[in-house]
Amino acid sequence: MNWNERTEPVQGNKRLLLGTAVIIVLAIVTGYQYGYGTYRSRLASIKETREMSLKTLSKYRKVLSEKKSIQRELNQLRRALKDEELKLLRGETPALASASLQSIVKQIISSEGATIRSERVERTEEIDGFREVSVSIDLSVDSIATLSNIIYNIESRTPYMVIKEMSIRVRNYRRPGVLTVRLRISGLSRA
């Protein structure tokens, strides 16, 4: 046998060993990259999701622990809203709100003994979610004291009403018994 013949199987074995070692190293690197690397990134994602869930859970617990105080505050706000609603004229439409205003004003004027000569509904205006409803009323009053009582009763009553304009005329200057008064009265209703 020749020296070359003996070295060929050894060199073939070395190549086979070297190839096998390279394949094993590549298999380990690929397994690490796709196996453990994927596992590690999933594990990090799970940890992150868990941390966010714990933070959210702690926020929910905090809100639930504050439930009684929030409920108390909500009830106070509801009572305040109900009290404020009493200050507004009733009526879902401008016509109903105007009729409500007219009815209240007529009742005040009649209770003081004054006479209503004419009445008319003015134009309605929208203001920041509310409706300003106005009526003009011409009336005859027998004295300044009666007029004073009417004005006081209109402006101090609930629902709130405001006299926007007022003009007073005396029929007889020498004997100022009967006054002719024109009032423009406004109130607010929910739009």
Domain ranges of the chain: 3-65, 94-190
Mutual orientation of helices 94-111 and 144-155 as an angle, nearest 10°?
140
pLDDT in tens, the chain (191 residues): 454 555 565 666 778 888 888 888 888 888 777 777 777 888 888 899 999 999 999 988 888 888 888 888 999 999 988 888 878 888 888 889 999 999 999 999 999 999 999 999 999 888 888 889 999 999 999 888 999 999 999 999 888 899 999 999 887 777 777 889 999 999 988 87
DSSP state of 88: S
Q: What is the pLDDT of residue 12?
A: 66
Q: Which two tokens stand for residue 94?
A: 């401008």
What is the C-alpha separation between 36 and 33, in angstroms, rounded?
A: 6
Please calculate the CA angle 169-167-121 and round it to the nearest 5 degrees: 120
Strand blocks (E) in the chain: 115-121, 125-127, 130-141, 161-170, 179-190
Please provide the CATH number assigned to the domain covering 94-190: 3.30.70.60
pTM, to two decimals: 0.59
What is the C-alpha separation between 17 and 10, in angstroms, rounded?
A: 10
